[in-house]
Amino acid sequence: MKYLLVLLLVSCTLPQPLTSPEVSEVTLNTTETPTATAVDPEPAPLPLPVLSDKLSAWCARTDTEFNRYQWGKSRCEEFNWNHVRSSAQGHPIPWVVFGTEENLEKKNVTLIMCGVHGDEITPMKFCYDILYDLKDFHWDFSERVVIVAPLVSPDSFFTAKPSRTNSRGVDVNRNFPTKDWNKDALRLWSQKYGKDKRRYPGPKASSEAETVFQVNLIKRYKPSKIISVHSPLMMLDYDGPALKHDHSHSAKDLLLTMSEKAKGYKVSNYPHFPGSLGNWAGNELGIPTYTLELPNSDPHQSDRYWKQFREAIHHAIEHKIGP
Ligand SMILES: [Zn+2]
């Protein structure tokens, strides 16, 4: 049994950007700006958004996977997807924004990402359940923004045999430009992990489209918190400003309340790795980052997991971190 350990305070200095100015490249793919959901109790049905050919194909592929895992209709075409970057195999890596992008710095901004590892099947459906919830229920998006990227690594999911690594054989969650990447990522992979192919950190930091996508999303929206959904380690892990220095108890309260609302889900302090999201966004950028590891990757358990964690996710979206 592991216990929650107090994290060390680490510097919050931004690392030098390793890539071209990607952020400015980020544009909306549709002519409409994503808007808040209607507050009218019985809103008239909205026309479906116009999707690009690439996004239509991506939605069709998503439907195929939903059929395969018996998840029902994906409703993929109902969302105002944004798309800039695609995977090595050409699949879009899209995201949806609920709320408006004005005055982001004053708002409670939550970034939720799933499908970083394609062989973890349940998280993908989990992000869709979040999408349906945000679209169908009467959330107030005047003071909050929620960004959802349901499938960060499409190549590893859209395949007969889903894999942890992307189509270039890289573990996307070891490829972030952390300060220790150059010194430690490949060395530890070779010396400590026996060159385990499932954990190859890539030829260099930020070498992968899926990593650059996440880095840009974080730079663009500057979320006040990040929730990254994985499976099957059955725990909730926190990376970010040291909890003992969190005088408002805000980040820590959220961690403990999320666990409570999921019937005492185990809180664990999973070790850091060079190039992981928690290390880069949590420790180096100082953004409270919560990794929710669902109990397993069995697609038939998806509904059960959504029921188990729905309240925790609601609370996480509503909870304001910081002043
Ligand atoms: Zn994972």
Domains (ranges, CATH) in the chain?
47-318 (3.40.630.10)
Distance (Å, whole) CA 189 – CA 201: 8
pLDDT of residue 42: 60
- Banded pLDDT at 20 (limits 50, 70, 90): very low
The pLDDT mean for the chain works out to 87
How far is the centre of ligand 1, averaged over its atoms, from the C-alpha of 189 (Å)?
17
pLDDT of residue 41: 56
Q: Which of 74-83, 113-122, 247-256 has the lowest mean pLDDT?
A: 247-256
Q: Give the residue-averaged pLDDT of 200-209.
A: 98
Q: Give the residue-averaged pLDDT of 157-163.
A: 97
pLDDT at 224 over 60: yes
pLDDT of residue 121: 96
How far is the centre of ligand 1, averaged over its atoms, from the C-alpha of 149 (Å)?
15
How far is the centre of ligand 1, averaged over its atoms, from the C-alpha of 67 (Å)?
23
How far is the centre of ligand 1, averaged over its atoms, from the C-alpha of 282 (Å)?
16
Q: What's the alpha-carbon Rg for the chain, to the nearest Å? A: 19
pLDDT at 7 over 80: no
How far is the centre of ligand 1, averaged over its atoms, from the C-alpha of 40 (Å)?
39
Q: Give the residue-averaged pLDDT of 136-143.
A: 93
How far is the centre of ligand 1, averaged over its atoms, from the C-alpha of 227 (Å)?
13
How far is the centre of ligand 1, averaged over its atoms, from the C-alpha of 103 (Å)?
33
How far is the centre of ligand 1, averaged over its atoms, from the C-alpha of 247 (Å)?
31
pLDDT at 204 over 70: yes
pLDDT of residue 44: 67
How far is the centre of ligand 1, averaged over its atoms, from the C-alpha of 278 (Å)?
12
How far is the centre of ligand 1, averaged over its atoms, from the C-alpha of 38 (Å)?
34
C-beta of residue 127 within 8 angstroms of C-beta of residue 71 = no
Instruction: Copy the structure tokens of residue 232.
Output: 């099957």
Distance (Å, whole) CA 66 – CA 7: 39
- Residues present in the chain in total: 323
pLDDT of residue 246: 66
How far is the centre of ligand 1, averaged over its atoms, from the C-alpha of 250 (Å)?
26
How far is the centre of ligand 1, averaged over its atoms, from the C-alpha of 298 (Å)?
14
- Banded pLDDT at 43 (limits 50, 70, 90): low
Q: Give the residue-averaged pLDDT of 273-299.
A: 95
Concatenated DSSP letters for 25-93?
H---SSSSPP-PPP-SSSPPPPPPPPPPHHHHHHHHHHHHHHHHTT-----GGGS--B---B-TTS-B-
pLDDT of residue 272: 80
pLDDT at 166 over 50: yes
C-beta of residue 246 within 8 angstroms of C-beta of residue 4 = no
How far is the centre of ligand 1, averaged over its atoms, from the C-alpha of 177 (Å)?
18
Q: Phi and psi (nearest 5°) for 68?
A: -55, -40
pTM, entire model: 0.86
How far is the centre of ligand 1, averaged over its atoms, from the C-alpha of 115 (Å)?
8
Q: Give the residue-averaged pLDDT of 232-237.
A: 94
pLDDT at 39 over 90: no
Distance (Å, whole) CA 14 – CA 156: 29
Q: Give the residue-averaged pLDDT of 207-234.
A: 97
pLDDT of residue 242: 82
How far is the centre of ligand 1, averaged over its atoms, from the C-alpha of 83 (Å)?
23
Q: Give the residue-averaged pLDDT of 98-107.
A: 94
How far is the centre of ligand 1, averaged over its atoms, from the C-alpha of 231 (Å)?
6
Q: Give the residue-averaged pLDDT of 230-243.
A: 91
% of the chain residues with pLDDT over 90? 77
pLDDT of residue 3: 46
How far is the centre of ligand 1, averaged over its atoms, from the C-alpha of 165 (Å)?
10
pLDDT at 245 over 80: no
Angle at 285 between CA 113 and CA 123, to 5 degrees: 15
C-beta of residue 215 within 8 angstroms of C-beta of residue 177 = yes
pLDDT of residue 160: 96
How far is the centre of ligand 1, averaged over its atoms, from the C-alpha of 117 (Å)?
5
pLDDT of residue 19: 42
How far is the centre of ligand 1, averaged over its atoms, from the C-alpha of 42 (Å)?
39
How far is the centre of ligand 1, averaged over its atoms, from the C-alpha of 32 (Å)?
33
How far is the centre of ligand 1, averaged over its atoms, from the C-alpha of 10 (Å)?
24
How far is the centre of ligand 1, averaged over its atoms, from the C-alpha of 215 (Å)?
17
Distance (Å, whole) CA 39 – CA 153: 33
